[in-house]
Amino acid sequence: MSYPRYSIWGRVGAVGAGRIAYAGALLGAEIFLAHTLSPPDFGSYKQLWEVFYRPLVASFTLGVPAAIFYFYPRTPQEGRGRLTSLAGGVLLGSGTMVSLGLLLLASPISLRLKNPDLAGLLSDFSPYIGATVAASFLEPFLLSSGRIKVLVCLSFSFAILSASALVLPVALGYGLDVALLGLSILGIGRLAFAWGYAAGRSGGYEGCGGLGLLMRYALPLGASSALGGLSIWVDKAIVSMFYPPDAAGVYMVGAREVPFVPIFLGSVSSVLSAELNRMHGEGPEAMVGLWGRTALRVAGAIFPLFFFLIAFSGRLIPWAFGEGFEGAVLPFRLYLLMLPLRAAAYGPLVAALGRPDMVLLGVVGDLAGNALLSYLLVPRVGPWGAALATSLMTYLHVGFLLWVIGRLSGLSISQLLPWKGMASTAGCGLLGLSASLPFLKLGPAVLALSAGSTAFGAVYLLSLRLWARRW
């Protein structure tokens, strides 16, 4: 059966819409819980997601989703079902391992983090983490096979059900433990769908070379993803070691990338991975050209967010989460410093150029530097020191990846990205910022945010339209 061919931005839009719906549902649930739960309980909730969910999912997927992107277009049609089943089997074993491990280690982990209440919550939440790992083959399968509508419908349905599972039990007085248990049941249901729809459709297998070849490609990327997850995790873990759950929870509200932006960028990265691997026969220069054009389009969306939120986050965070979260503003601004770097998806290009080991090497350096700097800064300057360490190491990491891309493609740094266009986009963002600043101190926060964003958007879009004709 053939499926319609979508443009690269059509696929980004479709995938991004589903992911944004899921992120928006979780963010709405988080804001509700911030206003409903006690500070220690909310801090425990944030620890579950930031200290456990994000790094463990990144670690235990083992690079298999990225390997599906690589091998699927290179595998004959009759062997693709078997490829998906093979990948799904690896992930099912990995997800089962992480879930059982968390169940067994919940008590000692909670004692190490000086949060005894975490043990029961972690036991309720661990099946969700394991099921997420086990079902992570579904999205690359749907993207690579062109089943975009199925992916979008699944994403929107899962978003609504996830928010309901978290909010309704707490609103009805059943507590956070019941909400987490409901979320775990939902995750297991999604895993069952993944096997029934995708991995169960196995045919004759040929073209990828079996489990050995699959994992030889996947494991360097898996190690990179695992260490990247630890890089995201390490600042939260170190803050949790030195500060109680309520203070750590405030830090974790701020120590995040802009909500929805990682979802959008992840959608771009997934679609771009599939496209770069599809055009592998056209040569490195063509692949870098597509990568650079994509980065310029992405910059047009994230550069204005960077400038606006640097100025207005002091009004936004206390308004959204409550007056007790003013301490989250500084970590959030330090995390914002990484946002302009996110315009380009470096890892997928390096992997598509055939050197996933270089992705791994860059992540190792990032993690080691982040852990050391965070450990040195947090007890001396406070929780925000961990956010500063994360931002500094990200700049060094990106510099290394640009050097690697230049070496692999034979192009100079000046040829890798459309620097002039990106500088012009940043200039338009500065013009928008200057138009919004008069509204920064205006009355209630909601009025300042709405008026400031309107002024910013109008000036940014107008200047971008006028300037865009020159590049």
Residue that the structure tokens 């609504």 belong to: 160
**Residue 174 counted as domain residue:** yes
Cα angle vertex 211, ends 210, 212, to 5°? 95
Average pLDDT (350-366) is: 80
- Between CA 245 and CA 39 the distance in angstroms is 8
Cα angle vertex 406, ends 403, 408, to 5°? 110
pLDDT on residue 82? 75
What proportion of the chain, given as a percentage, has pLDDT over 90?
18
Neighbours of 82 (CB within 10 A): 20
- Between CA 1 and CA 136 the distance in angstroms is 23
The model's confidence at residue 11, banded by pLDDT at 50, 70 and 90, is low
- Between CA 134 and CA 98 the distance in angstroms is 10
**Residue 471 counted as domain residue:** no
Average pLDDT (95-120) is: 87
pLDDT on residue 355? 78
Domain of residue 393, residue span: 8-417
**Residue 348 counted as domain residue:** yes
Annotate 289-351 with DSSP letters as a single string: HHHHHHHHHHHHHHHHHHHHHHHHHHHHHHHHH-GGGGGGHHHHHHHHTTGGGGGS-HHHHHH
pLDDT on residue 314? 87
**Residue 87 counted as domain residue:** yes
**Better-predicted residue by pLDDT, 85 or 377:** 377
Query: In this model, does residue 202 exceed pLDDT 50?
Result: no
Q: Which of 81-85, 206-210, 423-427: highest mean pLDDT?
A: 423-427
**Residue 235 counted as domain residue:** yes
pLDDT digits (tens, 9 = 90+) for 153-169: 888 888 889 889 999 99
- Between CA 366 and CA 378 the distance in angstroms is 18
Specify the amino acid at residue 107: S
pLDDT on residue 184? 94
- Between CA 24 and CA 160 the distance in angstroms is 10
Query: In this model, does residue 199 exceed pLDDT 70?
Result: no
pLDDT digits (tens, 9 = 90+) for 249-267: 788 888 887 767 776 777 7
Average pLDDT (375-399) is: 89
pLDDT on residue 221? 60
Size of the chain in residues: 471
Which of 66-70, 96-100, 305-309, 425-429 comes out lowest in average pLDDT?
66-70
Q: Extract the tokens encoding 165.
A: 């599972």
**Residue 436 counted as domain residue:** no
**Residue 213 counted as domain residue:** yes
Query: In this model, does residue 121 exceed pLDDT 70?
Result: yes
pLDDT on residue 205? 38
DSSP letter for 37, please: S
- Do residues 253 and 323 make contact, with C-beta atoms less than 8 angstroms apart? no
Query: In this model, does residue 439 exceed pLDDT 50?
Result: yes
pLDDT on residue 15? 66
Helices then strands (H, E): number in the chain?
Answer: 20, 0
**Residue 290 counted as domain residue:** yes
pLDDT digits (tens, 9 = 90+) for 21-68: 777 888 888 889 888 888 888 888 888 887 788 878 877 887 787 777
DSSP letter for 198, please: I
Task: Give which of 330, 366, 407 is closest to 230, Cα–Cα.
Answer: 366
Task: Give which of 207, 73, 83 is closest to 144, Cα–Cα.
Answer: 73
Q: Extract the tokens encoding 292.
A: 């650079």
pLDDT on residue 156? 85
The model's confidence at residue 130, banded by pLDDT at 50, 70 and 90, is very high
Per the structure, the count of domains in the chain is: 1
pLDDT on residue 204? 39
